[in-house]
Structure 1
Amino acid sequence: MHSEKNSSSFRILQFTDLHLRTWPLDEADQQTLQMIQAMSKKEQPDLILFTGDIVWSTIADAPLAIFQEFIDFCNTLEFPIALTYGNHDSNHPAITRGMLRQKETDIKSLAEKKCSLIANDRESYVLEIYNSNQLKIEQLLFIIDSGEYTDSPYSRYDWILPEQIEWFKTTARYYHKHSAVKSAYSFLHIPLQEFMEAYQVNRPINSVVGELRVDSPEINTGFFAALLFDPITKGVFAGHNHDNNFQTNYLGLEVVFGQVSGYGAISQNRRGARLIILEEQQLQTSILYGENYF
């Protein structure tokens, strides 16, 4: 992805768990979109990244109509957009991930996907970030669809598929060999088991004080290990748990929750976004709260 700015830094606004739920959009859903628009206008990101649960299809009467409203809204924004899906986006008998991806192609500023893999109707892809001279790929974003609910007796939530892990390893090796990439980050919706391990070891500051939940899959297929052993991967970002927004370094990787964004979502947390600034091999992030943009 090419940035038109002269600065070598790359700014990402991560919105997660919008949980748009009504058609026509109710006051809470409209407030969510208004916040995204106001925040984007002020922060001027190089990329807007939605990390799942865009639509609360589980309870929505017209989830496809709501998603179309979201697509139309994206076309009012003046910044590149990327997205992946969560456990609620296609949790409806009339919706598949493929249907959502087809509609997503109507986003005029959709970021260019590289090395796309579709496995079990879940897409994983790469976004390339170029240096300030626009000549070399300097950083990579791996966007991973972590799935939804399962019928398995062993886990409520989907796990990262072995095919996705092999794709990550193969794709990362390709970029190591054919480019001058300095760092890479992965984004998904459902957090890995290691998010809870990171919290238990480091006890980072979290938005909600008290007992912490990390709703990861009960099956661990080893994606965190694949990230850990990749020589340029620096961190992994998730959404999903609305009351979590901690960031901590665990075994050398930054483990980061997004900030819940949807005013219609169930949460004790304030709504907002995470601002992510990538600068060479450095990572800076901060929480932005919606009330500061109205």
Structure 2
Amino acid sequence: MAKDLRFRADGTLKIVQFTDPEFAAEDEAEAQMVEMMQRILAAEQPDLVVYTGDVICSAGHPDPAGAFRRACDVPERAQIPWAAVFGNHDAEGTITREQLHTLQLTYPYNYAMQDPPGVRGSGNYLRTVTGRDGHAAAALYFLDSGSYSPLEYGRMGFYDWIRRDQIDWYARESYRLTAANHGTPLPALAFFHIPLPEYNDVWDFNVCYGERSGPFSCAPWVNSGMFAAMVEQGDVMGTFAGHDHGHDYWGDWYGIRLCFGRTTRNAYLDRPFLPGARVIVLHEGERCFDTWVHLADGTVQREQARHEPEGRTPEIGAWGIHDQARKNLTKG
């Protein structure tokens, strides 16, 4: 089967983003989640499904590969092209992200690519979308945002970050596509699990739309420069993360729309929060996209609640978060 993503005859490409489904126990809750995912796919009829990490919850799981196969079966049975990147819960048990990436590549409808040599992580790849003229008209970047910080928790945070060699790989691919497009950057989207630090900035200092559960997003404390690279390259117009199950907001930050998916499983939340998916529609030849949230009860939220910027307080500011965390770690 030829694996070529193409814009439709009407110039659109639709993507459904599932995030944090955490396949694990083959129980009634998982069966209900799968049924919901199937309903969303049947209603939206996307051209591509993207899992943005924590596809499985592997810690202590006796058969993490089996759990991952159940996740793969959802788009496979619908015969919809799909791709996955990985999060912090995918490889906490007896399976590695390299093994998971190799496994996804064995499926006929999987559109992921082999990892580029010399680039950290597993699940770094690029897919282009062919336009009606037969040439690449858009780009989709997939990045491994890692899992946990390799540095001392009390010093430099808990979650990992996109590393320098990954950023360099992205920039090289972006330059290559821009050159092939006569010097004009291709409209692009980027998918990864752990949000960039700028996801906190956009909520605190710009208008956003959607929900945030808690005072901040669990981004890495190290800012490795991925956002700056995307601004410099001028191609990425939207990014899509998961990780924070109670967040589904988006906002524009220096010309890039930073978006959370809608969690596919309501885990770790102490309040009602309907799971679902984020839907994204690209338009050929345009530097724009539409996006909305499709919920488990069938509700489609095309307009999300507006949140006005409130700035930061010392307690929950970008560096205040870190300072408070350090204080908590030293208690007792």
Instruction: Please give the TM-score of this superposition, normalised by the length of structure 2.
Output: 0.81
Partner of 1:149: 148
1:186 equivalent in alignment to 2:185: no
1:276 equivalent in alignment to 2:277: no
Q: Which amino acid aligns with 1:107?
A: Y
- Structure 1: which 5+ runs fail to align? none
Residue correspondence of structure 1 range 67-78 to structure 2 within 5 A: 67-78=68-79
Checking the alignment, whether the CA contact within 8 Å between 1:185 and 1:234 is kept in structure 2 is yes
Checking the alignment, whether the CA contact within 8 Å between 2:14 and 2:280 is kept in structure 1 is yes
Checking the alignment, whether the CA contact within 8 Å between 2:278 and 2:293 is kept in structure 1 is yes
Equivalent-residue separation in structure 1 for 2:287 and 2:137 (angstroms): 9
Deviations 1:31-76 (Å, cap 9, x if unpaired)?
1211111111121101011100000112534322211222334421
Partner of 1:8: 11
1:287 equivalent in alignment to 2:293: yes
1:140 equivalent in alignment to 2:160: no
Partner of 2:91: 90
Equivalent-residue separation in structure 2 for 1:112 and 1:86 (angstroms): 16
Equivalent-residue separation in structure 1 for 2:88 and 2:136 (angstroms): 32
Equivalent-residue separation in structure 2 for 1:130 and 1:66 (angstroms): 33
- Structure 2: which 5+ runs fail to align? 300-332
Equivalent-residue separation in structure 1 for 2:195 and 2:260 (angstroms): 8
Q: Which range is displaced more, 57-66 or 190-199?
A: 57-66
User: Paired residues, what number?
Assistant: 287
Equivalent-residue separation in structure 1 for 2:181 and 2:114 (angstroms): 14
Checking the alignment, whether the CA contact within 8 Å between 2:112 and 2:125 is kept in structure 1 is no
Equivalent-residue separation in structure 2 for 1:240 and 1:59 (angstroms): 20
1:100 equivalent in alignment to 2:90: no
Partner of 1:204: 208
Q: Which range is displaced more, 82-91 or 103-112?
A: 103-112
Partner of 2:113: 113
Secondary structure of the structure 1 residue equivalent to 2:99: helix
> In structure 2, do the counterparts of structure 1 residues 201 and 117 end up closer, same or farther at CA, with 3 Å as the change threshold?
farther
Q: Which amino acid aligns with 1:52?
A: G
Bigger CA radius of gyration? 2
Q: Which amino acid aligns with 2:12?
A: S
Checking the alignment, whether the CA contact within 8 Å between 2:18 and 2:276 is kept in structure 1 is yes
> In structure 2, do the counterparts of structure 1 residues 117 and 124 end up closer, same or farther at CA, with 3 Å as the change threshold?
farther
Partner of 2:247: 244
Structure number with the higher strand fraction is: 1
Q: CA deviation at 1:203?
A: 4.5
Instruction: Please give the TM-score of this superposition, normalised by the length of structure 1.
Output: 0.91
Partner of 2:169: 167
Secondary structure of the structure 1 residue equivalent to 2:227: helix
